[in-house]
Structure 1
Amino acid sequence: MQPSKANKQRGVALIMVLLVVALIAVIAVNLGSRLQMQVLQTANLQQAEQSYWMWLSAEEVVGEVIKAELQDSDGVVNLQQNWAQQTGPFPVEGGTIAGQISDLHACFNLNALAARNEQGTNSNNRSPARYRPEYMALLKSLSIDDYTAQTLADTLIDWLDADTVLTGTYGAEDPDYLGLPHPYLAANSLLLEKSELRQIRGYSQEVYQKLAPYVCVIPGSTELVINVNTVDQSQPQLLVAAASGELDLGQATKFLQNRRADGYKDKEAALASPILSGLEGKNNVNLDNFGVKSNDFSLLATIQWGDLTLKATSVMQVTDKRARVTFRSFGE
């Protein structure tokens, strides 16, 4: 018996209905997944936004704390002051916040390698890098051999300076980087973060890990002043560097061990100490590399809000009158 035309039409209609139902189900599932994703994205965005504002609030608090300390101490900075104490984590509604403040004059400012001597020229008819001897002393105090130290100094100078002329025998400019598997150009400008060292020829992961605890970047500044009050006792190499190698590690270690908890009241008192007084009159030592005052600090904020953990770094320039942020970045 042949099915009637009406039965065939009913069968086709049923199939169409089933297809429509299936299509609606697929669309509903897709819309549900998208809605769920949007809800999650919105929640994450809210957490990120809240964490960001907490970070900015932490900057304000830290700036006021340091500013008050500088007002009370006539600008002298030491490790007994409130800014130097580990802060937090403090509970806040929905999470916690913690901060660690560091003096950027208790480390070697890498941008100092861009500074030039006012007098004298080298073989390329340029004024030599003013703080190259200090950087070489730091590298050698970290048991880096002379050849590697020369290379690291010259390639960093070339990365920072504005020209494309090689520095010394071991420098590196654009052609050295354009020949790499993933080519790029030398920055020919100051650093913003010390992690940029990894782009410079010679700064392998091994070298970077050895050097990183002792160096920092002060954005826009080419000065080198080591605060003898805030150098960590475990880092006498920084004093060796400030003295261009005229202090040995033993002398620098003894100086830090004998330093009072609240440091020296002024630069003159520090330079009159039994160990640093021996540097007076040595031609290759710049006593201006030593100080007891600081205006550049970094804040590492760790913010936990909901499921989100944010680490963020702020570089701050602080005087007894004002505090301002000169650089921000996510991560340490």
Structure 2
Amino acid sequence: MSLDASPFAHRESGASLVSALLLVAVMASMSMMLAGELRVAMRRSANMDGRDQAYWYALGAREYASGLIANAMREPATALRPDAAWLQSAREFPIERGVLTGRIADGNNCFNINGLVVDEGQGLLVADATQRGRFERLMSALGVPATEAGRIAAEASDWIDSDNRPLPGGGEDERYAGLATPYRTGNTLMAESGELLALASMTPTLYRLIEPHVCARPVAAPLPLNINTMTGDDWPLLVAVFDGALGRVAVEGILLSRPAAGFANAEAFWTLEPVQALTPDASLREAVGVDTRYFDVTVDVLHDGQSYRLEAVFEWRGGTTLHRLTQRYGYAQ
């Protein structure tokens, strides 16, 4: 019996060896998978830690910036000068494994998209033809073809106003209902200027062109530009306000000729020969002043090779208190 059983014993031994090898192979494969997942989990955790650390750096910079603004606005006449330190350039601060950059800008020096309508009360928002025309001229000054500028201005007005009657060249709900992914117009104030990308005629290229000059403030009214805090890059805003009567060269000349301390008041600005020749009416005079209500704070954090950005808008209502209206944080593009 022992001689006959020997071949079977060898077969069983071979099968056991194969089973053991298969088990080892499976365990090795599982170990590799677990090790890979562990590496991914550790990397994800490290990224989250880095993102959180950058966020706290950004929050600290935001609070520092808001404190600077609040203290400076104790004396608005001094804070809102053309040579004010906060207007000159961004500030850089070294941080552990990176660098932080903070910028403060006058949040009044932009075209308020929500000013394309007038609030008639009880939720009724009516398109404003004057502001629509200025939006067109702003885009034209930036190089947008006149036809496209007119169409975008009309579409933006229709997007915000509360009626369902499209303006010439504009579009209400039916304009978007037939799209592959249908949607409706907002029929209310825009929360941020990025909503312009939802317009039928807006493209990412056009939006990048106008983005530095537009904003969405929570008021259905145009923002008076602060002539004392405007920079050379803001010339398209003045061209739009002056309805194209003054070109880029004339506007840049006005900005360069400002007194070092700025204009003492709005009337001092309107006595300048180039603008006085325009015989400005009350509406035009209200479009340019020397006061600021909004401030934009931008914080860029480069930490562990990753870039993050925090953007916040503050409103100054007098005194030394700032009210934060909006904030966004995420990876910088």
| TM range, smaller chain | 0.7 to 0.9
Aligned length: 324
> What aligned pairs does 1:107-186 form with structure 2 within 5 A after superposition?
107-115=110-118, 128-129=128-129, 131-142=131-142, 144=144, 146-167=146-167, 169-186=168-185
Report the equivalent of 2:194.
195
**What's the C-alpha RMSD, in Å, of the aligned pairs?**
2.8
Q: For residues 165 and 303 of structure 1, what CA distance do their matches in structure 2 show? A: 45
One-letter code aligned to 1:165: R
1:219 CA displacement: 4.2
Counterparts in 2 of 1:128 and 1:313: CA distance versus 1, 3 Å: closer
1:268–1:75 distance in 2 versus 1, CA, 3 Å: farther
1:307 alignment partner, one of 301, 305, 308: 305
CA-CA distance at 1:95 after TM superposition:
1.8
Distance 2:96 2:205 in 1: 42
Q: Gaps spanning 5+ residues in structure 1: where?
A: 119-125
Q: Secondary structure at the match of 1:99?
A: strand
Instruction: Tell me, yes or no, if the aligned pair for 1:107 and 1:216 is still in contact at 8 Å.
Output: yes
2:127–2:161 Cα contact (<8 Å) kept = no
Q: TM-score, normalised by structure 1?
A: 0.86
AA at the equivalent of 2:239: V
1:123 aligns with none
Partner of residue 289, structure 1: 287
Q: Is the 8 A contact 1:106 1:232 kept in 2?
A: no
Which of 14, 23, 27 lines up with 2:17 in the alignment? 14
2:60 alignment counterpart: 57
Q: Distance in 2 between matches of 1:11 and 1:207?
A: 73
Return the offset for 1:64: 0.7
Q: Please, what TM-score do these two structures have when normalized by structure 2?
A: 0.86
Counterpart of 1:299, as a letter, is: V
C-alpha contact (below 8 Å) 2:94/2:100 kept by paired residues: yes
After TM superposition, give the deviation of residue 113 of structure 1 in Å. Answer: 0.7
- Please report how far the alpha carbon of residue 61 of structure 1 lies from its aligned counterpart in structure 2 after TM superposition: 0.6
Q: 1:91 aligns with which of 94, 99, 104?
A: 94
Tell me if structure 2 keeps the 8 A contact 1:59–1:299. yes
In the alignment, the residues of structure 1 paired with residue 199 and residue 127 of structure 2 have an alpha-carbon distance, to the nearest angstrom, of: 22
Tell me the equivalent position of 1:122: none
Q: Which residue of 2 aligns with 1:121?
A: none
Cα contact 2:110–2:225 (8 A) shared by 1: yes
Residue pair 2:117, 2:127 contacting (<8 A) in 1 also: no
**In the alignment, residue 228 of structure 1 is paired with which amino acid?**
I
Cα distance 1:73–1:20, how it changes in 2: closer, same or farther (>3 A)?
same
Query: What is the 5 A alignment of 1:214-293?
Result: 214-220=213-219, 222-280=221-279, 282=281, 285-293=283-291
- CA distance in structure 1 between the aligned counterparts of 2:243 and 2:132, rounded to whole angstroms: 9
The corresponding residue for 2:71 is 68
Amino acid at match of 1:286: L
What 5-or-longer segments of structure 2 have no aligned partner? none
CA 127–15 in structure 1, closer or farther in 2 if over 3 Å, else same: closer
**What does the per-residue CA deviation read over 1:91-150, in whole Å, with 9 as the maximum and x for residues that have no partner?**
1123210012221222211221122589xxxxxxx6645522332332344455554333
Provide Cα deviations, 1:293-321, integer angstroms capped at 9, x if missing partner: 11212222110111321123222223442
- Do 1:110 and 1:216's aligned partners in 2 also have CA atoms closer than 8 Å? yes
Residues 116 and 240 from structure 1, CA distance in 2 versus in 1: closer, same or farther, beyond 3 angstroms? farther
Cα distance, 1:205 vs structure 2: 4.2
- Residue in 1 that maps onto 2:210: 211
Q: CA deviation at 1:196?
A: 2.5
**Range 56-65 or range 148-157, more displaced:** 148-157
